[in-house]
Amino acid sequence: MNALASLRLLLGYRGREGMVAWAFHRISGVGIFAFVVLHVIDIYLVGGNPAAYDELLAFYASVPGRFLEVVLGAALLYHALNGLRIILIDLWPSMATYHRQLWWASWIIFVAVGVPGMIIILRPLWNPGPGL
């Protein structure tokens, strides 16, 4: 086996549910951390620069802000559900044989809870009040 084939094997995407769950868990965790940092900054603006805070609130209510809020909600929901899946497997090691089924069950819950949440968050875009 040559070096390129070895490298491809080492870094190659193995693709099953466990690897996807791991990657999504890390990505959603980084996204949640970024939101917490942004939230600390925007709360600081309340006392430091109220005009900038008002502009930031206007962005949050805009179309891109609403879509980012949906992404944040999706990251929070996925991270929580996958965390519960990990806890189940950690507390009851025999559940590891069902990790794929647990992962798919978490996606079913994700869609069942996430889609109504997305609709609620985006509803003001379909029925804009005086603020939009």
CATH at 43: 1.20.1300.10
How high is the pLDDT of residue 91?
95
Contact 110, 59 (CB under 8 A): no
**Domain annotation covers residue 6:** no
**Domain annotation covers residue 34:** yes
How high is the pLDDT of residue 108?
97
What is the C-alpha separation between 78 and 113, in angstroms, rounded?
10
**Domain annotation covers residue 91:** yes
How high is the pLDDT of residue 8?
67
How high is the pLDDT of residue 65?
92
How high is the pLDDT of residue 132?
52
**Domain annotation covers residue 10:** no
How high is the pLDDT of residue 90?
94
Phi, psi of 72 (to 5 degrees): -60, -45
**Domain annotation covers residue 20:** yes
Closest to 116 in 3D by CA, of 67, 70, 83: 70
**Domain annotation covers residue 22:** yes
| Helices within the chain (DSSP H only) | 3-11, 17-48, 50-61, 63-91, 99-126
**Which range of residues forms the domain containing residue 52?**
15-126
Count: domains in the chain: 1
Parts of the chain with a pLDDT under 50: none
How high is the pLDDT of residue 103?
93
How high is the pLDDT of residue 11?
61
